[in-house]
Structure 1
């Protein structure tokens, strides 16, 4: 965990005939990363196969969506190692069932899958289209029936005494209503038009008809549903060839108005009603039969049949195939040979060798793959850390800032302790710390709260299915590790359980040191104030409630903590220089930084400790540390108020510190410049081509040599100006950062003080007076207010603030002393991880 796992670079020579088998096995072991030879090319060798898998996957997702719509859901997969084994086993079973195994190649199994899925897709799409047409037809029929009912109500009995279906005389009430709308004389003949349209277009239709008829119209409208409405339009009679009638027809076409023709007689009207009712019944029966047929097509996709696997297996099989071809696109093709450069975890080299040997034994009739150690020296290895449930969150915090370089000291190993500790320094309170600690313990011990409790049952079902497949064919043992979980708030809180536990423990610890319980002091051991030969056993004496004292104590404590953590960062940089064999940095830069920092900031820490250990009768006459440090630099080390017993000794010491700090600056500036210039000149003498190609001669993999010599991190600058400017900035940043970073640790003091005072204010406003006056009713009312405000403001909001400040102290003040964060992750070639990513993508 302190450094990333060892990586070895190998080249794999794969004959075209065995490429599919080799890549299939490499994706199973989760131990190799294939370097992309074609990352800058848009057209890659197997892009068609990848697109083919994507097209089939889109059809599979379409079928899954249709299953969801009929209430049949595809279960989520939680054990992808088991799923991968099942997909592999089911593939072999289906091949054996459909065709003779000798008549089909493994990589052509996708042809059967494509044919099967395409057939089901077309069948389902045909039924969906039929359902869509039936639904549209049913809606139109119901709307037509409703429109006829409303039209009959609007037109009245006079409609059946007219001589045509488009011209009629109206009774006195209709004519009176028409006159109110600016109509014409009672003797005028009128034309009616009944239609159904979208409700949102009705206002546009009404205004346009007003302009066409110049206001000579009347319209009635009723909503049939939220989005559809029917209307009856009445306007003066026009010839069917007239301009006005033509404009109205064109408007209806533009707005997609469904015209409803009305019968002429009551008998025809009643017959039309009956026809509509029969048609609605027929359409509903057809819809029911079509749904039954659709379900008969879809439901078998959920289970494994005698000829084809379930849709769940097909989905992940296609993801597996797509991942295989995506990684095949990364290899370099030379005639009938594939050249793949692999990063392999050093601990998994033997496993890779065994896999290749197994492939050779299974397929003795085809050329076997060959592997050799790669001699490329300018390749930077990827970074990989093996994490678990306890440390993965701390590793994620570190990698959010930047991926560690290969074999660089991993800051997360220190953050496991330092992060909760800094949180506790800011959040220190016995009551609040105990609340977070209890919550963390509850999350850690309560398995029912874990989202995996639901997954356990599903996992057992998957294992039972896997065991059934295992009985039918010879396959590897099934594994039930690495459960995937849904991304939800419950899971996020559960993943924080160990951090909450540690943060609560350190908050409780610092709360005892501060002697604060919900902002109040506790007299646990009895006060030692004004007592001789009495020392308070642990923490602050409860009588020291003076804000100035606690303010001074927490401020100085923050400086000491910051000095210790930054000193750890500088020491880590020395270990990095030693590991990477950067002898100039180790012999010059590291001592210069260590001396500058320890003398500059360490002297201030020494003054704090001496001041704490010295008794002053009148504290106003005690020396000010800030004044002492300012005078030291402004007056050549002179002392105004002595801190040491001997003022002369303090003056001499301060002068020595000033001289050494000033002498360290040139070493910090010029040593890395000289080192990078020498490295640049050496690099220019080398032939670049010799770093890119190497001889492809098979070599024994059981070599004791490692690849740690390829991790040189020398600067890649090509000009002197770049080197000088970079290191000038770095020197200024380090020198000034010693002051600014130390000052930044004062946030520990500020947030701790704010937390303490805020807790005290909440208590004073809610419970202090009721408890002091023994008012039971006021206490019962104030207690819920106090608890809710403590939960919302302190345990939630203030804890988040402390978390963010602790994060900033680690990222900026601590890690910049040694951590570059310029690495890249070990992107393993893994079917399991790709299946997991695909499922998460589909769920989102």
Structure 2
């Protein structure tokens, strides 16, 4: 686990891959996921790179597979996911895959086109069938069947000439049911009431062949007289997207047409069923292999995209790549390259050559299922600088502990632990389900964080002796009322006094009243004490100060390991030592005073105990003349004065001395590196770092890597002084503000306990107030209400609040003491991350 405390040691390596083996070698490197490729062609357009055609072919295959996947999902078929991780197909298999996908796509498109045409024909025949049936009903309902051949008073009521018979025309069709009212009004207005409309709803819904949606339509028939009205009616029908169908005028012709339509519908239904069966068979066969196809195509695309990052030798026989990789994994990378060379059948081995560079390597922290969540918490603040101390191992303990200090409740901790255990024990099944819900995915990713927070909450709940706002009396209280009663009998206290008074004060100075401390946690008698809040406030406030100062001192101590590793003795003598002394002499002394007061003053001396807050303020003001403030120990004034002076002396060490020493070191290096002889500036040769630099190959040289292009920056005294002043002021003021910030541990712990108590007294107490049968039913209802509020408010809302405050304490108060977080993350080329969608091209 040593690599977890500091990021992995990285190196820049150069790969020489033979053209015929490059594909297989990159494939093997993608399987192990241990190298990050650098783009050696930053100035080359994407469309001008060597393997751009292969990338386009992979994208085209991916498009076809997405079309097939869409058709499978449209058919409500499950896509088979066996968890198989197929090997990358060799380049010559791309032609076979393209042919397979092309054939499958064309077949599905042809089936869809034919099916849509058949469905459209089926819809038209179905609508015609309903028209013929409804039209016959319309004519049967008419009292005079000769209306079509004789004149009608509907056309012109004032017409008196009835000798010449007039012939009425009609059209029939179907229209959307929702358009009927508007359609009818438009006919009436345009035709001025000279048409007669009959309509009836089609009971069964019809399928739209283009969209597949179910639509509801109505059959209509319109009677009119004359070609002019006929043209108007047809235009209105066209505007309302009504479909007109030919309808015979005689009943015999309609009957014969209906029989023919029914026969055609039956034949068409049989063809549709066969077409659908064929489509289902094609999709079922595709559903079994589409997942594997996706993996193969996306792996091929990733390989060709990576090959586009490489340089090509002038002989066109060798590809040159530069990669960042962990030093500890070089053997695995070499082995992967050998496997790739053997698979390709190449006789020339691939070469891995380590390079020296002044570029800052990426930061890589190896994690597992438990540590990845806490590493993400640290990385959310900032990716660590290369090889600096990683806060994640310490966050595994301190983060859930500080959360639990604010969330301390035995019952709530058990509920959170059970929820986290469910996610942990069923993680394999839940991963296989691939739930796309963003909220669930976030909670599932932090399951081990929840588990640790729940376990620590159980511990702090035992310390607070708090379980759903109630105390557990396991070992019996350390307080006894009998000695107090024996002292008071015959005086103020009697049996009636005990029974009639709810509030009586126990004097711990009386022998036997206080038998001894509770074995673990807080005595349960404090749960019924009226001064419970006063006691807990004092206890939790002092505990918050102690935890905060220890946490910050630990953070400052970790900075020492950074200075030692990077060999910066100046930062140790003029940075770490003044910082640790400044904080320890002031706030470390305050912590010692708290423990001293707890140990020195017992129940008989507690009335004369001085206030630590007043004593700490007077320490800064050098005010020791107040007669009301008694000293805690002999020589307190001299010691406190010395500690304040030591703390003040640390400030100029950080503020001024370090800046002056930095300037003197720069001038010394400048004078040592060059000397003037006769006005000519002569160098003493390259430094040790420059001597170790290996020149890049001519094909991969970059100006930023050449030592000649790396001149030492000119020392700017003003900038360094301002930067050091900001850091010193921030640290000194931060020691005060950060210590006060840890009081949120006390505030949120108190708020959580009070919310839990209010919820119990206002909700659960109602159900427990009655003891009848009806009270049992009421208790069941109230308990459900209590459980919902507990989960929603105390677990989710309060838990999220405590989580965010613990996050702030680590990011601001703890990590800023030693963690800069100015690096960039190591993003290896890995098929696993690409297939999961974690890394984009």
Q: TM-score if structure 1 supplies the norm length?
A: 0.78
* Aligned partners of 1:9 and 1:342 also within 8 Å: yes
Equivalent position to 1:624, from 611, 626, 634: 611
Residue of structure 1 equivalent to 2:703: none
Secondary structure of the structure 1 residue equivalent to 2:369: coil
* Aligned partners of 1:405 and 1:820 also within 8 Å: yes
Are residues 1:239 and 2:227 paired? yes
Q: 1:491-640, aligned counterparts within 5 Å?
A: 496-523=446-473, 524-528=475-479, 529=508, 530-531=510-511, 534-536=515-517, 537-544=519-526, 545=529, 546=531, 547-615=533-601, 622-634=609-621
Are residues 1:372 and 2:353 paired? yes
Residue of structure 2 equivalent to 1:740: 737
Residue of structure 2 equivalent to 1:123: 107
Residue of structure 1 equivalent to 2:249: 264
CA distance in 2, matches of 1:814, 1:77: 46
CA distance in 1, matches of 2:102, 2:113: 16
Are residues 1:23 and 2:26 paired? yes
1:20 deviation in Å? 1.7
CA distance in 1, matches of 2:131, 2:427: 54
1:757 deviation in Å? 2.4
Are residues 1:347 and 2:324 paired? no
Distance verdict in 2 for CA 1:362–1:63, change over 3 Å: closer
Distance verdict in 2 for CA 1:366–1:777, change over 3 Å: same
Are residues 1:73 and 2:78 paired? yes
Are residues 1:785 and 2:782 paired? yes
Equivalent position to 1:7, from 7, 10, 31: 10
Deviations 1:697-723 (A, max 9, x none): 99xxxxxxxxxxx9xxx9999987766
1:575 deviation in Å? 1.5
What RMSD, in angstroms, separates the aligned Cα atoms of the two structures?
Answer: 4.2
Secondary structure of the structure 1 residue equivalent to 2:595: helix
Distance verdict in 2 for CA 1:771–1:162, change over 3 Å: closer
1:257 deviation in Å? 2.7
Are residues 1:414 and 2:414 paired? no
Q: 1:433-472, aligned counterparts within 5 Å?
A: 433-437=413-417, 440=420, 447=425, 450-453=426-429
CA distance in 2, matches of 1:184, 1:691: 115
CA distance in 1, matches of 2:218, 2:693: 76
Deviations 1:258-299 (A, max 9, x none): 112221111111122112212211221111121233234344
Secondary structure of the structure 1 residue equivalent to 2:837: helix
CA distance in 1, matches of 2:386, 2:534: 48
Deviations 1:292-327 (A, max 9, x none): 332343444456xxxxxx433322111110110121
* Aligned partners of 2:555 and 2:817 also within 8 Å: yes
1:370 deviation in Å? 2.5
Secondary structure of the structure 2 residue equivalent to 1:87: coil
Secondary structure of the structure 2 residue equivalent to 1:319: helix
1:824 deviation in Å? 2.9
Are residues 1:382 and 2:365 paired? no
CA distance in 1, matches of 2:395, 2:654: 28
Residue of structure 2 equivalent to 1:94: none
1:214 deviation in Å? 4.9
CA distance in 1, matches of 2:824, 2:802: 30
Higher radius of gyration, 1 or 2: 2
1:733 deviation in Å? 3.2
* Aligned partners of 2:148 and 2:169 also within 8 Å: no
CA distance in 2, matches of 1:21, 1:124: 33
Q: 1:120-519, aligned counterparts within 5 Å?
A: 120-154=104-138, 156-157=141-142, 161=146, 169=151, 175=154, 192-202=170-180, 205-206=183-184, 208-209=186-187, 211-214=189-192, 217=195, 219-224=197-202, 225=205, 227-230=215-218, 232=220, 234=222, 237-240=225-228, 249-301=234-286, 310-335=289-314, 336=316, 337-360=318-341, 367-378=348-359, 380-437=360-417, 440=420, 447=425, 450-453=426-429, 486=435, 496-519=446-469
* Aligned partners of 1:221 and 1:232 also within 8 Å: yes
In structure 1, runs of 5+ residues without a counterpart are 92-105, 304-309, 456-482, 699-709
CA distance in 1, matches of 2:57, 2:373: 38
1:554 deviation in Å? 0.8
Secondary structure of the structure 1 residue equivalent to 2:362: coil
CA distance in 2, matches of 1:184, 1:610: 118
Residue of structure 1 equivalent to 2:504: none
CA distance in 2, matches of 1:296, 1:769: 63
Distance verdict in 2 for CA 1:120–1:631, change over 3 Å: same
CA distance in 2, matches of 1:738, 1:765: 41
Secondary structure of the structure 2 residue equivalent to 1:373: strand
1:127 deviation in Å? 0.7
CA distance in 2, matches of 1:510, 1:442: 22
Distance verdict in 2 for CA 1:4–1:620, change over 3 Å: same
1:486 deviation in Å? 4.4
Are residues 1:63 and 2:44 paired? no
The farther-off stretch of 430-439 and 551-560 is: 430-439
CA distance in 2, matches of 1:608, 1:63: 71
1:630 deviation in Å? 3.5
1:136 deviation in Å? 1.8
CA distance in 2, matches of 1:396, 1:316: 27
Deviations 1:174-223 (A, max 9, x none): x4xx99xxx99798976544333344555654555455335655544444
Distance verdict in 2 for CA 1:196–1:370, change over 3 Å: same
1:340 deviation in Å? 1.0
The farther-off stretch of 715-724 and 200-209 is: 715-724
CA distance in 2, matches of 1:322, 1:426: 50
Equivalent position to 1:750, from 747, 751, 762: 747
Distance verdict in 2 for CA 1:680–1:433, change over 3 Å: same
* Aligned partners of 1:632 and 1:639 also within 8 Å: no
The farther-off stretch of 792-801 and 571-580 is: 792-801
* Aligned partners of 2:171 and 2:247 also within 8 Å: no
The farther-off stretch of 596-605 and 416-425 is: 596-605
Are residues 1:651 and 2:637 paired? yes
Residue of structure 1 equivalent to 2:486: none
